[in-house]
Amino acid sequence: MTAAGSTKAMALVKRTLVLSPVAAPRTPGSPPRCCSWPLTAWPCKDWSWARSPTASCLPQPHSCSTSATAVCLLCPQDSLSSSLKTCYKYLNQTSRSFAVVIQALDGEMRHAVCVFYLVLRALDTVEDDMTISVEKKIPMLRNFHTFLYEPEWRFMESKEKHRQVLEDFPTVWGRYVKKLEDFAKPENIDVAVQCLNELITNTLHHIPDVITYLSRLRNQSVFNFCAIPQDSLSSSLKTCYKYLNQTSRSFAVVIQALDGEMRHAVCVFYLVLRALDTVEDDMTISVEKKIPMLRNFHTFLYEPEWRFMESKEKHRQVLEDFPTISLEFRNLAEKYQTVIADICQKMGCGMAEFVDKHVTSKQDWDKYCYYVAGLVGIGLSRLFSASEFEDPLVGEDTECANSMGLFLQKTNIIRDYLEDQQEGREFWPREVWGRYVKKLEDFAKPENIDVAVQCLNELITNTLHHIPDVITYLSRLRNQSVFNFCAIPQVMAIATLAACYNNQQVFKGVVKIRKGQAVTLMMDATNMPAVKAIIQQYIEEIYHRIPNSDPSSSKTKQVISTIRTQSLPNCQLISRSHYSPIYLSFVMLLAALSWQYLSTLSQVTEDYMQTGEH
């Protein structure tokens, strides 16, 4: 598209945004139009302060996949026509970076801008196609707008395939050389740089207008759409995000929602721990080789060429291409490197300790969960504080951070009893289950179902003790993207525990929360009152299912009583049966994302409900 065409296109985009009902608030301090929230529930009254895309009180845009076949993830899929789904598919195929920010827009404006982009892309393709004769091209360009009203019109003769746009500035470069390609000749390098500087100087004149335009925006998703840089990632960092999406779709969503440089630090942190975990899980690696690898893994971060090519695990690419990951680790600020290397060393030593060791006591259970999950919580907390998005206390209180990890890990272990048994793994502490049966696998026998449920309830009661620390931790968070990142897995976990409590199905099959329930939790858990209300809702469900005959019943009631004291007495969660433009999502799109997002909404919820990746 030419410079003039781009200018006209942006003018139309501005008109589209202004016409949108969510482009500005109704009155100062009120929510945007189309917002279903009452005025008293609107979290921010100072719109002049809330212009920053990192303002934590503002509603965040939801994310959408940028895979070639993706559509808007948080729009109910049945609400999109097949033709609109196809439009989103074409949007993702033709421009992943634009697809990300367009799909982050609110409400019907998202569809309008999607269609607007595709119409201009089609027009631009005609202009760029040099195989179309001038005699045919000129009338096509002039009459293209009329084709919008011709249902059967299509053009089958184009040979163009998203050719990169080339700008033509003859009035500038013509004063330096005769032909534009002459700038590539060594003898013309000086005048080439002079021309380059002149064009950059010309471009800089637009910045005051850009600042003025951005300062007028009120809707968060519109601000993000207009303010996002389009190509800011190195090739190695893009590869890291590709691996992130390949190894954990659920984590990819919340990690890519984080703000600023913290996003890259957490992405690299995750991949380093994923590589370490891949070594631990690979049963084809001998114990003699595995233990020293685990203990020394942190040193590989500083060895540019180290890689491991012998793994048979599903996600072995993070080991085979570890030089790319370690390169981005070394590109991080030193404050992030220090945290990641320290956690990697401690986790590797802990994993090595449990290679040949069973979880015997409840202390062993806590220790194992600390190594594989608590350290993750501690490391993330230190990264949040190092980024200055959160207060130093968040990173300093290792007890609360550890509880965040333990609560998630214990929930996974409890839920995955049958799967772990079928694969020969044992993570339930013998100190507990040994009082009920001789072998852990005996719980799967029908004659032992009553004692199995009693043991299950005892472990769930043990896990509930971490909730007060979880509430304390979350209440300290100030950055919206960090809050979403931390809160969503926690509310999914409490919902999972409620589903498992006193439930024989844990020993017979898969226990999971409903997909619709999972989506509601993801979209509701965006502020502390809502999270407290969710926790209160599910602990009350557990409380009303406590059998009087259960050996742990008194302890369960006691811990629930403690949790109640931390919940707001008037906290009520209003579940939503439809999607509103104002819902806070767990993804903020603040950088050019050329990596892949989720392909369908069911994949997101399935990961949260079935995998052990919190």
Q: Which of 137-151, 179-193, 365-379, 592-606 has the lowest mean pLDDT?
A: 592-606
Helices (H) and strands (E) in the chain, counts: 29, 0
Q: What is the pLDDT confidence band of residue 97, given thresholds at 50, 70 and 90?
A: low
Distance CA 415, CA 408 (A): 11
User: Rounded mean pLDDT of 381-395?
Assistant: 95
The set of residues, in sequence order, having a beta carbon less than 8 Å from that of 226 and lying 6+ positions away, is: 17, 213, 214, 217
SS3 (DSSP) at 25 = strand
Tokens of 449: 């179902």
Q: Is the per-residue pLDDT at 405 higher than 70?
A: yes
Other CB atoms within a 10 A radius of the CB of residue 555 amount to 16
Q: What per-residue confidence (pLDDT) applies to 225?
A: 65
Distance CA 376, CA 613 (A): 11
| Structural domain ending residue among the three candidates 328, 357, 386 | 357
**For the segment 267-317, what is each residue's pLDDT rounded down to a tens digit?**
999 999 999 999 998 989 999 999 999 999 999 999 999 999 999 988 999
Q: Where are the alpha helices (H) located in 416-479, listed in sequence order?
A: 417-422, 430-433, 449-464, 467-475
CA 612 to chain centre: 16
User: Rounded mean pLDDT of 409-425?
Assistant: 92
Q: Same domain for 396 and 338?
A: no
Q: Same domain for 374 and 419?
A: yes
User: Are 102 and 65 within 8 A, CB to CB?
Assistant: no
Q: Same domain for 349 and 366?
A: no
Q: Same domain for 398 and 279?
A: no
**For the segment 238-261, what is each residue's pLDDT rounded down to a tens digit?**
899 889 988 887 778 788 888 878
Q: What per-residue confidence (pLDDT) applies to 161?
A: 56
Q: Which of 191-200, 259-268, 465-474 has the lowest mean pLDDT?
A: 191-200
The label of the residue with tokens 């012998």 reads 310
Task: Name which of 259, 229, 231, 236 is nearest 331 in CA terms.
Answer: 236
User: Are 575 and 520 within 8 A, CB to CB?
Assistant: yes
Q: Same domain for 472 and 365?
A: yes
Task: Name which of 196, 130, 205, 188 is nearest 161 in CA terms.
Answer: 130
Q: Is the per-residue pLDDT at 149 higher than 80?
A: no
Does the residue 35 lie in any domain? Answer: no
Distance CA 54, CA 263 (A): 13
Does the residue 41 lie in any domain? Answer: no
Total domains, the chain:
3
Q: Is the per-residue pLDDT at 472 higher than 60?
A: yes
| Structural domain ending residue among the three candidates 357, 388, 408 | 357
Does the residue 47 lie in any domain? Answer: no
Q: Same domain for 334 and 368?
A: no
User: Are 583 and 104 within 8 A, CB to CB?
Assistant: no
Does the residue 93 lie in any domain? Answer: yes
**For the segment 366-376, what is each residue's pLDDT rounded down to a tens digit?**
999 999 999 99
Q: Cα dist. 574→38, 58, 98, 523 in Å?
A: 12, 19, 34, 11
Distance CA 319, CA 275 (A): 6
SS3 (DSSP) at 472 = helix
Q: Cα dist. 237→225, 330, 426, 482 in Å?
A: 22, 12, 37, 21
Distance CA 6, CA 578 (A): 36
Does the residue 331 lie in any domain? Answer: yes
107 backbone φψ class: left, alpha, beta (φ>0; ψ -120 to 50): left
Task: Name which of 496, 434, 490 is nearest 460 in CA terms.
Answer: 496
% of the chain surpassing 70 pLDDT: 74
Does the residue 610 lie in any domain? Answer: no
Q: Same domain for 347 and 374?
A: no
Other CB atoms within a 10 A radius of the CB of residue 431 amount to 14
Nearest 5 degrees, angle CA 380-CA 527-CA 53? 75
Task: Name which of 57, 81, 61, 60 is nearest 71 in CA terms.
Answer: 81
Tokens of 422: 């079928």
Q: What per-residue confidence (pLDDT) applies to 299?
A: 98
CATH of residue 184 = 1.10.600.10
Fill in the amino acid letter for 325: I
Q: Which of 421-430, 503-512, 571-580, 586-595 has the lowest mean pLDDT?
A: 586-595
Q: Is the per-residue pLDDT at 10 higher than 60?
A: no
Residues labelled as active-site residues: 368, 415, 425, 485
Q: Same domain for 13 and 112?
A: yes
Q: Is the per-residue pLDDT at 587 higher than 50?
A: no
Q: Same domain for 338 and 378?
A: no
Average pLDDT, the chain: 78
User: Are 252 and 244 within 8 A, CB to CB?
Assistant: yes
User: Rounded mean pLDDT of 7-27?
Assistant: 45
Q: What per-residue confidence (pLDDT) applies to 147?
A: 80
**For the segment 49-88, what is each residue's pLDDT rounded down to a tens digit?**
333 333 333 333 343 433 433 444 444 444 677 777 778 7
Tokens of 72: 């808007």
Does the residue 14 lie in any domain? Answer: yes
| Structural domain ending residue among the three candidates 321, 340, 357 | 357
Distance CA 224, CA 61 (A): 8
Q: Same domain for 343 and 366?
A: no
Q: Same domain for 202 and 271?
A: no
Distance CA 90, CA 476 (A): 42
Domain span at 442? 358-511+527-583
93 versus 536: the higher-pLDDT residue is 536
User: Are 396 and 356 within 8 A, CB to CB?
Assistant: no
Q: Same domain for 390 and 349?
A: no
Does the residue 188 lie in any domain? Answer: yes
Q: Is the per-residue pLDDT at 7 higher than 80?
A: no
Radius of gyration, CA atoms only, the chain: 27
User: Rounded mean pLDDT of 163-187?
Assistant: 59
